[in-house]
Structure 1
């Protein structure tokens, strides 16, 4: 066995000779950012070899200077002797402390209340079928010697009006001792269904009426949980973190591929439940002094792949033509079935999927956005790790998914990172000196650039003439911020290493710009084709709703300038927050909203862009700044004087 010491984490593990360093790190539960899941295409998993040897190959991702410093790619290095490794803090911490969304509780409540008001205005009632009831049972005697369960059932029939009760084995195991220890005075937590009452929990004494639910947005990159008071129907608290599945790939395709490997599906399921959601639940329970057994209802939403991995369902056929999802509606499940740290009998509901790449996060988003009730034409764009789009109104809804990749989360960009402390999130470039002014998350030194920062940067670069409309850096500009390598590939320096004490300069080059242009082109062309499929264009749009983590920091004007969003009146744009989470919240506190979710999923028409005639032509046209047809962007045309 070979010893691997991760000096940065003070952790020592042993492995077999020839194992990949990335796999060894995963085995040691050390997070190393590897968006491409180890196929040597992203170059993000750079680590520093302090002592020992690895069997590695030179790649374009490691410069000669970095090789001299001892850097290798963890995914491309086999352990052949005892080694010591340093994992840069940027790689190990970017998943944590992520800026999921901003604005504070007041802004959250405004977004949640807006969605609730839309639902109420369209006759959706807010009530649940879960109740708590304190009961006092007569104690058994020789003359009244019916079973404990029959005693409870008799009370329920006479006082609550239900002829039948149902419960699980673990409840039955609690009943005999609990009844006697509590002098037959207990509190039932139950679900009402027609003429049957299903007991979820039984507790000694009068525990009051406190009941809680959890709404969850299972994003590919980040996960957010909300604690909700089901009695008062109010949001109590929220917690968020990166999705621990990130270590197996930044996008759904890489995770699906990992799921096909030995124990891969179990590892992914463990990552989302035990390494992500349950720790968030623990933190929110502790902060609010909540007993997990009082959490008796859960509504979760995520894309089709995330929903499959949440349940531990094999997802591989999602990525293979003809792209068949394993399910659209999930079976009835309880907390213990998926190992969630809630009441074991808590009902867990997954928002229904529409197709292979339009999942429950979008049906929940459409519910919260109110498209289903709108008389106006609404374009809904969810800008996350995946790009999903819905267009419609109360009469119809069309949807599609775009292969944008992880660019909006910093993936595919050499110095890209997720929106966490140290990420450059907004930029201004001086048009004379070409010097940048950086806005950095956490008001600390920069370590990389996130999605909103990349949008600002590309916009500023084209407005100041640093790049042309193809995304190529101009060679004639006299500034140390612009330089070219031996292959003629240009790059712009956002931060020199000497400025901030970095190991390397923070730069964006023409390859990075091209990757991002492709991502923004996918979003714009997807929206364009979706409307075209109905014989319409962007002129018919009354409102544009932007959802997703990046939306909170998104500069709409800059996004239009680079051709990410359509050039329509700015007042039509509105950021609606984490619409997936808000939709889950609505379904948690309203049976009517849950039924509406099912209706939305069944009524939404899915357009598969990969086989749609003319989509590739539109995509290629959109891979330009802002578009090959500048007439589609009249305000940008004036801005660029073309």
Structure 2
């Protein structure tokens, strides 16, 4: 028997969808193809999927509710939060000799250097386009290039459609393991996002979608598994083994990427565990394997990927940083988008910088590190991480700063701006995240028989690393004890490496050779890591170099 349906209209847009009564607003948003972020995956823990609900019954009532906890019983209009993400697109692309895998032979036929059959074009005039894609947990970035001359044609980016299933890969893996239908939901959300990204790139360049011949996709291990429809059970528990390492060649149609059916998809090999092909691409872009430089590459997200080159040794590890440094599990935390406090300085008062020059609605990872570092400097937080009372502050601290230290429901909190604050729980979350990364760095260096002083360079990759203040990262103990002058921010290194593999088959082969040389350290089973992690929980008792 057919059952009644109700209509949910989402604004702005608007976009409407008919759904059966009893499902949540979050589920309805997914059915409508809308990317409503739910950092905790819909468990109700984070409180970040707040939406404004307006009844269509004529009473003009409205209320703020959690989308993941509110079931639909009648037709509604739902106003979604509008906060476009700040997505890092630029990186440092190393020069390569142009020898793409896909090329035109002397007779104008499209060939592939790996011997893979490629659908030939009816018209060979104009560019021979190829795409490089950085497939991130939060965002996707696409780079469209002309493979005949190596010139860029377009760059586009967008949110990963899986954000409504959780901010971190662990939440998404847990969802996928609920059953085949749940796995397919995740895959569908990702495939649709990629198709939209491809369309954005081609429209921007005025290129026919059907003319794209190859796509190089790099991503972390869970994202690659979900795209390739590989089993994910091995990633859900120690020792965190991928089902396959690759490299992988496939047609776009086999992956369900309907917009570019004629293209060949290349996914470089995974290094191991949660260190994926995005980390490999970043290592390629940073010249790993080309010199004897002792260098560390760190990309900090919910998993902090740590790669070390020390002589002939290549070591890789991932540290479970959790979502705090991307705004997750923080009361007023958010991803880097409009309204997010991204930088903080303090003197006689607090001076926040807000993305979009708008009213602050939350704080993102870079602003969080700044705020904690400044609070340590002004002795509002002691080395154990305790947020002190206003009466305990030194006399030299200004009255305005002291006024911001308040109590609510018996708990201390520090007001940054308007309704944006940090409390004791937020500080503890940062301590856990920074200890995870710092301990990972220390164990990798120890495994190589090195101390921090031996490093010639530390490269910070990715969005968080790009906007981070390195001195403040050192002040809170995030990066160990490396000299600040050796820290370099290298932008979207994963995207840069993907571009290199798109334009150069030689670079692609070099990346594959690099992947075989890396020795992966599984920190979850390393007793040293557990011991160092505990030792790293406290903040440094002094500023770097003091």
CA deviation map 1:14-57 (0-9, x unaligned) = 4444433322332233433211101222121223444599xxxx
Q: Any conservation in 1 of the 2:103–2:147 contact (CA below 8 Å)?
A: no
Equivalent of 1:521 in 421, 435, 439: 435
Pairing partner for 1:442 from 335, 342, 356: 356
| Distance 1:199-1:529 versus aligned 2 partners, 3 A rule | closer
Cα distance in 1, alignment partners of residues 523 and 321 from structure 2: 12
Measure how far apart 1:512 and its partner are: 1.2
The correspondence of residues 77-476 of structure 1 with structure 2, limited to 5 A, is 77-79=70-72, 81-82=73-74, 84=76, 86-89=78-81, 93-94=82-83, 97-101=84-88, 108=91, 111-112=92-93, 115-116=94-95, 125-132=97-104, 188-191=109-112, 198-204=117-123, 207-208=124-125, 210-262=127-179, 263-274=181-192, 276-340=193-257, 343-430=260-347, 432=348, 435-475=349-389, 476=391
Work out the CA distance in 1 between the residues paired with 2:503 and 2:15.
45
Q: In 1, Cα distance between the equivalents of 2:387 and 2:116? A: 69
The number of aligned residues is: 529
In 1, the alpha carbon distance for the partners of 2:311 and 2:99 equals 24
CA contact 1:191–1:200 (8 Å) conserved in 2 = no
Please name the residue that 1:483 is paired with: 406
C-alpha distance in 1, partners of 2:132/2:5? 45
Corresponding position of 2:50: 46
Q: CA deviation at 1:589?
A: 1.2
> Does the 8 Å contact 1:47/1:87 carry over to 2?
yes
User: Which aligned pairs between 1:528-567 and structure 2 lie closer than 5 A?
Assistant: 528-567=442-481
CA distance in 2 between counterparts of 1:525 and 1:277 reads 35
CA deviation vs aligned residue, 1:254-278 (integer Å, no higher than 9, x gap):
111111234222221221221x222
SS in 1 for 2:187: helix
Structure 1: segments with no counterpart, 5+ residues:
54-67, 136-186, 497-504
2:417 aligned residue: 495
Paired residues of 2:118 and 2:263 also in contact (CA < 8 A): no
Q: Distance in 2 between matches of 1:52 and 1:340?
A: 37
For 1:381 and 1:197, locate their aligned partners in 2 and report how far apart those are by CA, in whole Å. 35
What secondary structure, in the 3-state scheme, does the structure 2 residue paired with 1:271 have? helix
Q: Is the 8 A contact 1:373 1:393 kept in 2?
A: no
Unmatched runs of 5 consecutive residues or more in structure 2: 394-398
Q: TM-score, normalised by structure 1?
A: 0.77
Shift of 1:84: 3.5
Q: CA deviation at 1:426?
A: 0.4
Shift of 1:69: 8.6
State the distance in 2 between where 1:38 and 1:404 align.
Answer: 20
What residue is the counterpart of 2:65 in the other structure?
A: 72
Who is 1:160 aligned against? none
**How far is 1:366 from its partner?**
0.9
State the SS of the aligned residue for 1:370.
coil
Decide which structure has the larger Cα Rg and report it: 1
Relative to the length of structure 2, the TM-score reads 0.90
Question: Does the CA-based 8 Å contact 2:248-2:269 persist in structure 1?
Answer: no
Mean CA deviation greater in 523-532 or 382-391: 382-391
Partner SS, residue 299 of structure 1: strand
| Per-residue deviation, residues 188-236 of structure 1 (Å, max 9, x unmatched) | 323356xx794521415xx336212111110111111101121112333
Q: CA deviation at 1:514?
A: 1.1
CA shift at 1:531, angstroms? 1.2
Listed one character per residue, the Cα deviations across residues 583-631 of structure 1 (whole Å, up to 9, x for unaligned) are 11111111111111111111111111111113122112211213xxx5x
Are the counterparts in 2 of residues 489 and 509 from structure 1 also a CA contact under 8 Å? yes
**Shift, 1:581, TM fit:** 0.9
Q: Counterparts of 2:194 and 2:33 in 1: how far apart (Å)?
A: 17
For residue 272 of structure 2, give the secondary structure of its aligned residue in structure 1. Answer: coil
Give the Cα separation in 2 of the matches to 1:349 and 1:385: 25
Superposed CA offset, 1:150-179 (max 9, x none)? xxxxxxxxxxxxxxxxxxxxxxxxxxxxxx
> Which residue number corresponds to residue 396 of structure 2?
none
Measure, in 2, the Cα distance between the counterparts of 1:353 and 1:197.
21
Question: Are the aligned partners of 1:529 and 1:615 in contact in 2 as well (CA < 8 Å)?
Answer: yes
Q: Which has the higher contact order (CA 8 A, sep 6+)?
A: 2
